[in-house]
Amino acid sequence: MLDTPTVLVVDYGAQYAQLIARRVRECHVYSEIVPHDIPASRVAALRPAGIILSGGPSSVYAPGAPGINPDLFELGVPVLGICYGQQLMTQVLGGEVAKTGTAEYGKTDLDVGPETSLLFAEQPARQTVWMSHRDAVVASPDGFRCTASTPSAPVAAFENQEQRFYGVQFHPEVVHTPWGQELLKNFLYQGCDLMPSWTMTSIIDDATAEISRVVGRDRIVCALSGGVDSSVAAALVHRAVGDQLTCLFVDHGLLRAGEAEQVEGTFRRHLEIDLIHVKAADRFLEALDGVVDPERKRKVIGETFIRVFEEVAHDELEDAGYLVQGTLYPDVIESGSRDAARIKSHHNVGGLPADMTFTLVEPLRNLFKDEVRRAGAELGLPEEIVWRQPFPGPGLAVRIIGEVTHERLEILRAADAIVTDEIKKAGLQRDIWQSFAVLPAIHSVGIQGDSRTYGYPIVLRAVTSEDAMTADWARLPYDVLERISNRIVGAVPEVNRVVYDVTSKPPGTIEWE
């Protein structure tokens, strides 16, 4: 981000780092996640305004537990350690961490000491916090004052205001710590001397300036899917370069019922940007012939996308050297990095061919989905685009478990249309992050019209989430489930069974592939 004061969140595992980064951004301060073994010299080069050490599942004494370079504390940057981060700070700076004999999990009463505290300023002396630990700080490092305690954590919080080092044993980033966001604000605004200046206006202005700087007067093409991400990316780029932008909408034949027509109509009507509609369903189906492995599917689709773009750009936009994509921060995290395991490759991150001829422009790469929606609203995009449910780039191909065929696509399209219709009729579309049908390429026995059937099952998936990093299965009313099941089995003859997926993320993912 252009000259934006940044708080680095050092990742020590689980989902803690992502949640902390989101909470910092909700304070209108820009944050980025970095791996725990990032060199201190690299941190110094990034010139952060503050550093937060996240929680994590390890014990600081466990063999192979992630550590920290002591030089990080010599940079003159304010540091906040949370849970494992506090314990690590204690260990490195000369304090003592030990098992107290009693672990604390869940809601815990916290007593704030009478001493002046930066973190707890303007907060009650007794409050509820969320704990999750076996080890605890039992002796603070030299120069630190204990500012809060619980029955099993004698040093539940400490501060060294001279060096601007702070630590808490509990998790301020979770909603179960009611004063947690105020504590983070105190660290950011008072401890780091930051202002809440990272707003949607500043995000859009910075992105616009950066796009203009990178692209100059060159032609640029946008990979438009019609979803929130690519539409907001297109609107941002159009704001920066105007008629230098042409959008390519590739209909790969893997879209939902009526979606191609809806995307083209909505996009032409509302954004008035040059749009080329490429119909390539047969080409994608041919490329997917015999492909079963989900990672291979994503890579095949990603490469085919790029090849179509290159061909159209060569034939109709000969001078286009840049490609816009709606890549988001969760896409980058889930596709893996040097320090993160790959959960699944996203077709626009891990699935791109190494020899593609475009230079990528990804204006949303550092944003979570809810931030993208707010940016879209700020840019004046219509509600039908801003609040559209997330839809995977590979489309229905990763909702068919097994080989993708024309017949299976038609079956899934018909079932999925019923799911969408019933969720909308029930008024649940804004309460649910995603709701869709999945088609496993297996058969089960059933009875229809007094005859034996051997048809496909349909898996119904509906989840609630804030940013897709974690998700919970949606508690759909039984009558809605009943209507969906009855309609699918009655209207799609190849299907004789509907089941509901009640798995959260983790351990599952939202999509099945």
**28 is a catalytic site residue:** no
How many other C-beta atoms are found inside a 10 Å radius of the C-beta of residue 18? 21
Catalytically annotated residue among 27, 104, 159, 171: 171
Query: 21 burial class (0-12, 13-18, 19+ CB within 10 angstroms)?
Result: buried
Structure tokens at 473: 């299965």
Annotation marks residue 83 as catalytic: yes
Percent composition of the chain: helix, strand, coil (DSSP 3-state, to 5): 35, 25, 40
Tell me how far apart the alpha carbons of residues 147 and 191 are, in angstroms, rounded to a whole number.
15
Q: Is the dihedral of CA 459, 462, 463, 468 positive or negative?
A: positive
| Catalytic residue (choose from 27, 36, 83, 513) | 83
What DSSP state is assigned to residue 44? H
Contacts of 67 (CB under 8 A, 6+ apart): 36, 37, 88, 92
CA distances (Å), origin 150, targets 104, 128, 153, 165, 248: 9, 10, 5, 21, 58
CA torsion, ordered 13, 77, 6, 339, to nearest 10 deg:
-30
Could you say which of 104, 173, 303, 371 is catalytic?
173
Helices 259-271 and 228-241, axial angle in degrees (round to 10): 30
Positions marked catalytic:
83, 171, 173
